[in-house]
């Protein structure tokens, strides 16, 4: 009996120990991952692909048909304006020219004969007039019968008619001479067109014919050569997505790479944003021309360029890792840290799930509804954001007022209506709108002035020749976000004002954080079922992660 009791006690002790072991083993061992606040360059860019092309490209063709008799240029040949680069077989055109010249000689001889006959008709008319005059004198003295006088009068009339007929013959002969001369000129031009000369200085980039090949110019001029004017200056024709074209402006700095030189970075500047859309499989893009220097002639026509257009740049900026802005602590994490759940995590903020919601620290245009942002035109999510303070005097920042001035009257009304819906003070905006309305009644603006007012163009827009000069400058980007500090084994939230982002780091406009301070980017040890927003799983990176930030979406970095 005692042995049985002893065995039961031992078994119970082993079970209690095992249970305590497994319970202790199941408790989460939380490890907080942090990254420091640092200083560095932040460049917000828009990526695209494009094709390198020469600034000026000329297709050299033939205006006449024939066989290629001689070629004076080949691929990569440097040619000068007027230099002969090809000749067609000219035997047929020379024969046609000789025939035209013979016809011209014949018509000139006919003209000479007609002019001689004209002089003869003039003499005959003069003789008939003299005879008629003598006949009238004799008839007046009754020395000549009336019938002879009538015959003399008829002779004069016939001579005049013959003279007029001969004059018409001379005119016809002269027209025939002119026609023959035109035929000679035409055949001479055709003969000259058998000699193909370079129209510009440049380099032959393409040759489409060989000696002995027949070219036919019956319907359209065949292309014999393609000449690039100057390869030291080239262009990149890039296709910008419609979601990004609103952020592109002339003179923006551009960097790109080509596969031929993978370690080299080339530079250029935006020169034109074309308004013609290109739609391919329901994807709309806009052509953007980028001027590129090519002094070393490394770049060649047709190369594919991977372009990055610089939208904004901050040098030596205070920056925070975007992983820290994506971090969203869960209630499980606070329980593991023995810390009360803050109101921001409980959903006590205005935005729900925290006052700053999702996508903090991503693209500045995707800031939270509680953040006052200046949204670039043409970018996604471009809506006026309500202010977290319920509409205090902070609504009258200069950037916002300048943007309001550039709006049309209808847009101003909609802007004021949205502010009223959010309970914000609109008195300053209403006064500004009323002042603009009264000042516009005195004079009717021209179409160009209306266009400048519509798009907020600068005052020198009066001399603008293209629509590019009327594009307004990009507004200053600002958004709101939140980071978490790990101090004394406790998580502490810090609300931040953010600027531009490059997808990895985001500019810190506020000064709550200083270089060297550590911010939380993720945690480990809570299990795979409740990972935090800043912690990446080990699954397929192309599939949605269940541990994303509240509100979904995850971080959306700059391009």
**Residue 12 CB neighbour total at 10 angstroms:** 10
Sheet holding 223-228, edge to edge: 57-61, 223-228, 202-207, 78-79
Band (pLDDT 50/70/90 cuts) for residue 5 is low
Place of tokens 């995707």: 366
Q: Please give the residue that has the higher pLDDT: either 459 or 36.
A: 36
Residue count of the chain: 559
User: What integer best gives the mean pLDDT of the chain?
Assistant: 79
pLDDT tens digits for range 496-516: 999 999 999 999 998 888 999
525: left (phi over 0), alpha (psi -120 to 50) or beta: left
User: 44-56+230-313: what fold?
Assistant: Elongation Factor Tu (Ef-tu); domain 3 (2.40.30)
| Residues contacting residue 495 through CB under 8 Å, at least 6 positions apart | 355, 356, 480, 481, 482, 510, 512
Q: What CA–CA distances, in Å, run from 60 to 65, 77, 202, 205, 210?
A: 14, 14, 12, 11, 14
pLDDT tens digits for range 289-324: 999 999 999 999 999 999 999 999 999 999 999 999
pLDDT tens digits for range 64-80: 999 999 999 999 999 99
Mean pLDDT of 86-114: 94
Q: And the tokens for 149? A: 């006088």
Please state, for a pLDDT cut of 70, what percent of the chain lies above it: 75
Hey, where are the domains in the chain? 44-56+230-313, 90-193
**Residue 260 CB neighbour total at 10 angstroms:** 11
Alpha-carbon distance of 468 to 465, in angstroms, equals: 9
Band (pLDDT 50/70/90 cuts) for residue 325 is very high
Band (pLDDT 50/70/90 cuts) for residue 138 is confident
Exposure class string for 315-337: b at 16+ Cβ within 10 A, else e = eebbbbbbbbbbbbbbebbbebb
């Amino acid at each position: 009996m005692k042995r049985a009791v002893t065995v039961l006690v031992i078994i119970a002790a082993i079970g209690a120990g095992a249970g305590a072991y497994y319970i202790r083993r199941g408790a989460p061992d939380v490890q907080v991952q942090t990254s420091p606040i640092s200083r560095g360059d932040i460049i917000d860019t828009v990526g695209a692909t494009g094709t390198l092309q020469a600034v000026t490209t000329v297709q050299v063709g033939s205006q006449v048909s024939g066989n290629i008799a001689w070629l004076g240029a080949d691929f990569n040949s440097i040619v000068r304006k007027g230099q002969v680069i090809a000749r067609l077989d000219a035997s047929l055109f020379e024969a046609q020219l000789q025939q035209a010249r013979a016809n011209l000689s014949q018509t000139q001889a006919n003209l000479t004969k007609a002019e001689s006959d004209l002089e003869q008709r003039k003499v005959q008319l003069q003789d008939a007039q003299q005879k008629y005059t003598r006949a009238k004198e004799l008839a007046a003295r009754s020395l000549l019968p009336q019938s002879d006088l009538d015959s003399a009068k008829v002779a004069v009339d016939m001579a005049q008619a013959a003279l007029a007929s001969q004059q018409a013959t001379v005119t016809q002969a002269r027209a025939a001479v002119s026609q023959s001369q035109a035929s000679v000129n035409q055949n001479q031009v055709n003969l000259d067109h058998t000699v193909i000369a370079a129209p510009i200085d440049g380099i032959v980039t393409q040759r489409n014919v060989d000696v002995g090949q027949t070219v036919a110019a019956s319907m359209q001029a065949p292309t014999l050569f393609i000449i690039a004017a100057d390869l030291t200056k080239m262009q990149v024709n890039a296709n910008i997505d419609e979601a990004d074209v609103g952020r592109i402006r002339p003179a923006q700095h551009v960097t790109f790479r080509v596969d031929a030189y993978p370690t080299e970075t080339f530079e250029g500047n935006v020169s034109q944003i074309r308004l013609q859309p290109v739609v391919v499989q329901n994807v709309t893009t806009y052509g953007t021309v980028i001027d590129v220097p090519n002094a070393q002639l490394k770049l060649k026509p047709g190369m594919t360029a991977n372009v990055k257009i610089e939208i904004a740049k901050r040098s030596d900026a205070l920056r925070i890792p975007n992983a820290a802005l994506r971090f969203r602590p869960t209630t499980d994490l606070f329980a593991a840290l023995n810390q009360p759940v803050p109101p921001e995590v409980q959903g006590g903020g205005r935005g729900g799930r925290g006052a700053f919601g999702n996508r903090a620290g991503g693209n500045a245009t995707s800031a939270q509804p509680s953040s006052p942002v200046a949204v670039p035109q043409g970018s996604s999510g471009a809506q006026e954001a309500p202010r977290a303070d319920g509409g205090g005097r902070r609504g009258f920042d200069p950037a916002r007022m300048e943007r309001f001035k550039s709006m049309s009257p209808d847009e101003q009304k909609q802007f004021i209506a949205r502010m009223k819906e959010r309970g914000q003070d609109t008195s300053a905006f209403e006064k500004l709108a009323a002042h603009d309305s009264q000042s516009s009644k005195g004079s009717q603006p021209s179409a160009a002035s209306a266009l400048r007012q519509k798009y907020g163009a600068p005052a020198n827009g009066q001399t603008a020749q293209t629509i590019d000069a009327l594009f307004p400058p990009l507004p200053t980007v600002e958004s709101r976000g939140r980071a978490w500090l790990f101090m004394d084994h406790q998580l502490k939230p810090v609300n931040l004002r953010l600027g531009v982002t490059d997808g990895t780091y985001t500019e810190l406009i506020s000064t709550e954080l200083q270089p060297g301070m550590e911010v939380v980017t993720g945690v480990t040890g809570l299990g795979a079922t409740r990972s935090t927003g800043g912690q990446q799983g080990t699954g397929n990176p192309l599939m949605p992660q269940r541990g994303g930030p509240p509100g979904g979406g995850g971080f959306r970095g700059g391009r």
